[in-house]
A and B are shown apart, each in its own frame.
Chain A
Amino acid sequence: QKEVEQDPGPLSVPEGAIVSLNCTYSNSAFQYFMWYRQYSRKGPELLMYTYSSGNKEDGRFTAQVDKSSKYISLFIRDSQPSDSATYLCATYTGANSKLTFGKGITLSVRP
Chain B
Amino acid sequence: EPEVTQTPSHQVTQMGQEVILRCVPISNHLYFYWYRQILGQKVEFLVSFYNNEISEKSEIFDDQFSVERPDGSNFTLKIRSTKLEDSAMYFCASISGSVEKLFFGSGTQLSVL
State the majority secondary structure of interface residues on B: strand
CB-defined contacts of B44 to chain A, threshold 8 Å: 101
Contact A43–B104 (Cβ < 8 Å): yes
Interface size on B, residues (CB 8 A): 26
> With A and B bound together, what is the CA distance between A94 and B89 in angstroms?
25
Determine if B18 is an interface residue (Cβ-Cβ < 8 Å): no
**Given A101-B42, A102-B42: A46 and B100 interface contact (C-beta under 8 Å):** yes
CB-defined contacts of A99 to chain B, threshold 8 Å: 35, 43, 45, 102
A-B contact pairs, 16 of them (CB 8 A): A41-B107, A41-B109, A43-B104, A43-B105, A43-B107, A46-B100, A46-B102, A94-B99, A96-B31, A96-B48, A96-B50, A97-B56, A98-B45, A99-B43, A101-B43, A104-B43
Interface of A toward B, CB cutoff 8 Å = 4, 32, 34, 41-46, 49, 88, 90, 92, 94, 96-104
